[in-house]
Chain A
Amino acid sequence: MTTAAIEISGLGKRYAIGVRRRGYDTLREAIVENARRQVQRATRRLPQRVDSTLWALKDVSLTIAQGEAVGLIGHNGAGKTTLLKILSRITEPTCGHADVTGRVGSLLEVGTGFHPELTGRENIYLYGSILGMSRPEIRRRFDEIVSFAEVERFLDTPVKRYSSGMSVRLAFAVAAHLEPEILLVDEVLAVGDAAFQRKSLGKMNEVAGEGKTVLFVSHNLAIIQALCRRAVLLSRGEVVADGPVADAIDQYLRAFESSAASNLLDRTDRDGRGWQLARISAVEIRDESGTHPDVVVGGRPATITVHVTEVLPETQCRLTIVNSLGQPITTLDTELPSRHDIRDAELGPRIECELSALPLLPGRYRIDILLKGRNQIQDGLLAAGFFDVEPGVLGERPMPVSGSDGDVVIDHAWRLPA
């Protein structure tokens, strides 16, 4: 018999999103606002309250068994982090409830709780206790934590003198040695260099294998797939899929594609930092034959065209090509200039990126775009477009066709004994 570790039923969380999107208000504003409300109420012009609230989570019901590792996926703003915040009791739900059996450890952001003035040693104790470890527990695992983080020599140095890599490693190491029955993890595997990421992933795998209940949030679908057998897809605060990880991921990618297919200007899941003086209106990729947009043959010259609503001074553009598992393959960035780049006054509201030979293996890829202008981020869209690569030839050599050979192909030549 297995008891549920987490039993969520009808959980909802409503946020008030005022007209003013400010970090905080002042007493004066509150008084003015209150007076305005009173006047409006008196004159019956009170605006619909519906506009000013947002359900970050809506009627979420889930049962997670003990020892299960579940991935939580969804677009930005789908409610993944809100759900973890409620389960870790940082914020309260508006309605519904969740029954949690066992000690909960949550890793919502690595290293919150680190104090820059304290030494590495002191921070291990401070952060450990904040994450819910007792002092003997920390003492017992102290050496393990230190060697995992590879900071032995800097234990008595204040953390503010650490490189950012070191402090992140230390924070992750503390967090990874938590011993709760239930672990909530939000996007923490994206820290450190590649070697450390591999190590972290191994550690997480070990944790998931130890029979702990783990709830992972990540945009990296490959990690979710590696760690979890079950995944839950959230969209606009609701559970839209719950099942074997492959199915949920498929559905997630399909949702991505359908949002890409709709008019890009209608999309609301834009980068929150964007000023939106100029917006991305369309993106397409064509190879030299140019007949079919978004279907290109590998190895041929290709052009990615980004259409924008406005031409701003200092326009910059960054394209990230991402494979079907959500892993970035490469990033093309105008902010790393070459003398072959051209600024053309005649071009109109568009940005073109020419690839002399598309070095991608057959498969489906997506393009994420970040648009800058006037030295500010203007707009950003994940999965702005999708394209299919057909098998082709690179440097007169045919490409491997099967999907298990990686994502890229490099022009090369062999020398073999005759």
Chain B
Amino acid sequence: MQRAPYPQTVEEPLETRQLAARPAAPRRVETFRIASTHGFGRLLNPRELWRFREVARQIAARDVKVRYRQTVLGAAWAILQPVGTMVVFTIFFGHLAHLSSEGSPYALFTLAGLVPWTYFSNAVLLGSDSLVMNSPLVSKVYFPRIFIPAGVVGAGLIDFAIAFVILVVVTVAWGTSLSIAILAVPLLVAIAVAAALGVSSGLSAINVRYRDVRYVVPFSMQLWLFATPIAYPSSLLSHNWRIVAALNPMTGVVEGFRWAVLGNPAAPWTLIGVSSASAVVVLLLGLFYFDRVERRFADII
């Protein structure tokens, strides 16, 4: 059996050119072979992704636009979520449990972790359900399906940007001056995006077949929140355990944010390094799994 991508170019015959009355100069028309495919390579075919780029753009734009339609507070939700959690954490963990915040005000210390975390958590929650939510699209139109979870992950960046600005404003208002380290933020965001895309593409693909994902994800994200050093510093752990903790990509991101925004002195490069490696692994695993099962989506969704 042949593999699917089998592009071969032929000159468009004269008849069609005249009849179709297209303004374009002689166009090259591609012959595409449709056949059953095996293995990988559907998804990671850059030609295909490029050809459908407009769909990707429109889907991401749709996810951004729709997010806060018909809500009273609108984009304020992007801020309320991390700030609300920060307030709760500050009261319970900061004031009552007296968890260490490594010199920064506890509220700021948590907020710096909650801002990237909220992005990650929302991207995974919405992303893992995205294929199923878009099942009419999946079963009626063709385009690379990865655009659906990727659209969600991408659209979340707008929320993140709003929350990030607030974080910076609050930090400065608190009297902390920003350092050059803030330039590391794009790298940290990239790690979070990679991890979010990997997790949500993998989970959304599993969700097509097993709707258990819907129930597992919200619960798991709660556990993941506490497994990530957001309410507490990772320095509570011994050096070796910190390396293990950094296998959670969000550990490096959160600790990195504290260093980049709050100006914690020691750059956690080890954590960031381990976390980015692990994020890349998560991303590849998610994409490969997605790629493997994508061809069956329309039949079983």
Chain A contacts with B in 92-115, Cβ cutoff 8 A: 92-103, 106, 108-109, 112-113, 115
Q: Which residue of B lies closest to A26 (CB)?
A: B212
The reply on B20 being an interface residue by CB < 8 A is: yes
Q: Which residue of B lies closest to A5 (CB)?
A: B16
A95 neighbours in B (Cβ, 8 Å): 1, 36
Q: Which residue of A lies closest to B20 (CB)?
A: A211
User: What is the bound-complex CA distance between A115 and B142, given in angstroms?
Assistant: 17
A90 with B31: CB separation less than 8 A: no
Stretch of A80-88, A252-260, A305-313, A410-418 that contacts chain B: A80-88
The reply on A210 being an interface residue by CB < 8 A is: yes
User: What is the bound-complex CA distance between A112 and B31, given in angstroms?
Assistant: 27
Residue pairs across A and B with Cβ atoms less than 8 A apart, 14 shown, are: A3-B13, A24-B300, A30-B210, A89-B34, A90-B142, A92-B37, A98-B34, A102-B30, A112-B137, A113-B141, A118-B62, A130-B55, A130-B137, A212-B20
A66 CB to closest chain B CB, in angstroms? 5
Stretch of A121-129, A143-151, A194-202, A398-406 that contacts chain B: A121-129
A96 with B35: CB separation less than 8 A: yes
Chain A contacts with B in 1-27, Cβ cutoff 8 A: 1-3, 15, 24-27
- Contacts from A to B (Cβ < 8 Å): 1-3, 15, 24-28, 30, 66-67, 85-103, 106, 108-109, 112-113, 115, 117-118, 122, 125-126, 129-131, 133-135, 158, 179, 181, 210-212
- Given A94-B36, A112-B137, A113-B137, answer yes or no on A118-B65 (Cβ-Cβ < 8 Å): yes
B140 with A101: CB separation less than 8 A: no
User: What is the bound-complex CA distance between A28 and B141, given in angstroms?
Assistant: 31
- Given A99-B32, A181-B16, A211-B20, answer yes or no on A25-B209 (Cβ-Cβ < 8 Å): yes
User: What is the bound-complex CA distance between A60 and B145, given in angstroms?
Assistant: 27
Chain B contacts with A in 1-55, Cβ cutoff 8 A: 1-2, 4, 10, 12-13, 15-16, 18-22, 29-37, 54-55
Residue-wise interface mask of B (94-123) relative to A, using a CB-CB cutoff of 8 A (1 in contact, 0 not): 000000000000000000000000000000
Give the interface size bracket for B toward A.
35 or more
A203 CB to closest chain B CB, in angstroms? 16
A94 neighbours in B (Cβ, 8 Å): 36
Partner of B141, one of A101, A117, A131, A158: A131
B13 with A2: CB separation less than 8 A: yes
Q: Which residue of B lies closest to A98 (CB)?
A: B34
B54 with A134: CB separation less than 8 A: yes
A85 neighbours in B (Cβ, 8 Å): 298
Residue-wise interface mask of B (131-156) relative to A, using a CB-CB cutoff of 8 A (1 in contact, 0 not): 00000110111110000000000000
B69 with A100: CB separation less than 8 A: no
B62 with A3: CB separation less than 8 A: no
A129 with B57: CB separation less than 8 A: yes
A129 with B10: CB separation less than 8 A: no
- Given A90-B142, A126-B58, A130-B143, answer yes or no on A1-B13 (Cβ-Cβ < 8 Å): yes
A135 with B69: CB separation less than 8 A: no
Task: Beyond the given A67-B16, A210-B21, please list 7 additional residue pairs across the A-B interface where CB-CB is below 8 A.
Answer: A25-B210, A91-B295, A91-B299, A94-B36, A115-B62, A118-B66, A129-B54
Partner of A129, one of B21, B32, B58, B210: B58
A134 neighbours in B (Cβ, 8 Å): 54
Chain B contacts with A in 245-269, Cβ cutoff 8 A: none
- Given A117-B70, A122-B65, A126-B58, answer yes or no on A27-B212 (Cβ-Cβ < 8 Å): yes
User: What is the bound-complex CA distance between A280 and B63, given in angstroms?
Assistant: 48
- Given A15-B299, A125-B58, answer yes or no on A101-B212 (Cβ-Cβ < 8 Å): no
A129 with B55: CB separation less than 8 A: yes
Q: Which residue of A lies closest to B11 (CB)?
A: A3
Count, A-B residue pairs, CB within 8 A: 137
Partner of A100, one of B20, B34, B65, B210: B34
B259 CB to closest chain A CB, in angstroms? 40
- Given A3-B13, A117-B66, answer yes or no on A90-B139 (Cβ-Cβ < 8 Å): yes
A319 CB to closest chain B CB, in angstroms? 32
B54 neighbours in A (Cβ, 8 Å): 129, 133-135
A109 with B140: CB separation less than 8 A: yes
User: What is the bound-complex CA distance between A98 and B217, given in angstroms?
Assistant: 40
Q: Which residue of B lies closest to A66 (CB)?
A: B16
Q: Which residue of B lies closest to A103 (CB)?
A: B29
Q: Which residue of B lies closest to A126 (CB)?
A: B58
Partner of A24, one of B15, B36, B211: B211
A97 with B300: CB separation less than 8 A: no
User: What is the bound-complex CA distance between A24 and B213, given in angstroms?
Assistant: 12
B35 with A101: CB separation less than 8 A: no
User: What is the bound-complex CA distance between A90 and B21, given in angstroms?
Assistant: 29
User: What is the bound-complex CA distance between A133 and B19, given in angstroms?
Assistant: 20
Q: Which residue of A lies closest to B31 (CB)?
A: A101
User: What is the bound-complex CA distance between A98 and B298, given in angstroms?
Assistant: 19
User: What is the bound-complex CA distance between A85 and B142, given in angstroms?
Assistant: 9
B140 with A66: CB separation less than 8 A: no
User: What is the bound-complex CA distance between A122 and B58, given in angstroms?
Assistant: 9
Q: Which residue of A lies closest to B66 (CB)?
A: A117
- Given A25-B209, A85-B298, A129-B54, answer yes or no on A99-B31 (Cβ-Cβ < 8 Å): yes
User: What is the bound-complex CA distance between A179 and B62, given in angstroms?
Assistant: 23
User: What is the bound-complex CA distance between A87 and B142, given in angstroms?
Assistant: 10
B209 CB to closest chain A CB, in angstroms? 7
A129 neighbours in B (Cβ, 8 Å): 54-55, 57-58
B216 CB to closest chain A CB, in angstroms? 9
A87 with B34: CB separation less than 8 A: yes
B210 with A26: CB separation less than 8 A: yes
Q: Which residue of A lies closest to B19 (CB)?
A: A211
User: What is the bound-complex CA distance between A112 and B266, given in angstroms?
Assistant: 52
Partner of A88, one of B29, B142, B299, B301: B142
B31 with A100: CB separation less than 8 A: yes
A100 CB to closest chain B CB, in angstroms? 5
B19 neighbours in A (Cβ, 8 Å): 67, 210-211
B77 CB to closest chain A CB, in angstroms? 16
B211 neighbours in A (Cβ, 8 Å): 24, 26
B137 CB to closest chain A CB, in angstroms? 6
B142 with A67: CB separation less than 8 A: no
A98 neighbours in B (Cβ, 8 Å): 33-35
Top 6 A-B residue pairs of the complex, sorted by shortest distance between their CB atoms: A211-B19, A97-B35, A89-B142, A112-B140, A129-B58, A91-B298
A109 neighbours in B (Cβ, 8 Å): 136, 140
User: What is the bound-complex CA distance between A200 and B142, given in angstroms?
Assistant: 24
A72 CB to closest chain B CB, in angstroms? 17
